[in-house]
Amino acid sequence: MVGKCIAIIPARGGSKRILRKNIVDFFGKPMIAWTIEAAQKSGYFERILVSTDDEEIAQVARDHGASVPFLRTECADDHSPVSQATLTSLKQAEAFWDTSFDTVVQLMPNCPLRTAEDITQAIEAFKSKQAVFQISCFKFGWMNPWWAVRLNEQGQSERLFPEAIGARSQDLPPLYCPTGAIWIARSTAFKEASSFYGPGHVFEPMNWIAAVDIDDAEDLEMATAVWALRSQKQN
């Protein structure tokens, strides 16, 4: 079940590692615009709400077709979990529009490589699983975490997965990493749990390219390179 569905794009203004990250230029558009447009093209959402504490971000979001009827007044600091910001925004939205939403989809604005097709696949998976909470993830590739070690100040190592010593990589099961690209929940359950990691939450794998999550300058460089590579293949 999806029913009446709202997309919430949490975009606070106080990003530190990349200043004004959510509206920095990414291939000719503010970064947040790519997420807004993907949500629009998916066709699933009755409302696409950008939740922000920043008037400049709010105006950019409006210019690209998102709804920003109010600014976020809570959970806009460095420490509040993003799920709390989304929960606050969901409650604000339902009060403002005097309605209730069956499903909430959180789309992080720093995942500009995620497409409408990715959103569609995630929502269809949510429906087919009859899930209550679903979190996007991607499979680790060449950075095989089975070989991960923890180093002390002397450079001595402690293996995180000692059971993998001596095993061939092809004999080890795949491991997955959560990504903030597409998180989905039934609204009533989300309000009760105050988290997308609610009871019985499931994960839904997606392509690692769509899952690229830009937090710092190195992430931005990688996303730029991946975009160029993908564009080259499409041409």
pTM value is 0.92
Do the strands 176-186 and 133-139 form a parallel or antiparallel pair, or are they unpaired?
antiparallel
Helix (H, G, I), strand (E, B) or coil at 110: coil
Tell me, what's the pLDDT at 72? 81
pLDDT digits (tens, 9 = 90+) for 135-163: 999 999 888 899 999 999 999 999 999 99
Distances (CA, A) of 142 to 90, 147, 162, 204, 234: 38, 11, 19, 20, 24
The one-character DSSP state at 163 is G
What mean pLDDT is predicted for residues 51-65? 95
pLDDT digits (tens, 9 = 90+) for 191-220: 999 999 999 999 999 999 999 999 888 888
91 and 12 in one domain?
yes
R_g (Cα) of the chain, nearest Å: 19
| CATH of residue 34 | 3.90.550.10
Residue 95's identity, in one-letter code, is: A
57 and 41 in one domain?
yes
Helix (H, G, I), strand (E, B) or coil at 84: helix
pLDDT digits (tens, 9 = 90+) for 76-133: 556 668 899 999 999 999 999 999 999 999 999 999 999 999 999 999 999 999 999 9
Tell me, what's the pLDDT at 16? 64
pLDDT digits (tens, 9 = 90+) for 36-54: 999 999 999 999 999 999 9
E strands within 74-175?
A: 103-106, 133-139, 149-151, 157-159
223 and 191 in one domain?
yes
> What angle in degrees, to the nearest 10, is found between the helix axes of 55-63 and 31-42?
40
203 and 152 in one domain?
no
Instruction: Give the count of domains, the chain.
Output: 2
Give residue 127's domain range. Answer: 5-139+176-234
153 and 49 in one domain?
no
182 and 93 in one domain?
yes
118 and 132 in one domain?
yes
> In a 10 Å sphere around its CB, with 0-12 CB exposed, 13-18 middle and 19+ buried, how is residue 144 labelled?
middle
Q: What is the number of H-type helices and E-type strands within the chain?
A: 6, 10
Name the β-bridge partners of 87.
Answer: none
45 and 146 in one domain?
no
208 and 153 in one domain?
no
105 and 14 in one domain?
yes
151 and 114 in one domain?
no
Residue 71 to residue 80: CA distance in whole angstroms: 16
Nearest to 1 by CA among 104, 137, 116: 104
Say whether pLDDT at 1 is over 80: no
Residue 112's identity, in one-letter code, is: P
Residue 163 to residue 165: CA distance in whole angstroms: 6
159 and 193 in one domain?
no
Say whether pLDDT at 61 is over 90: yes
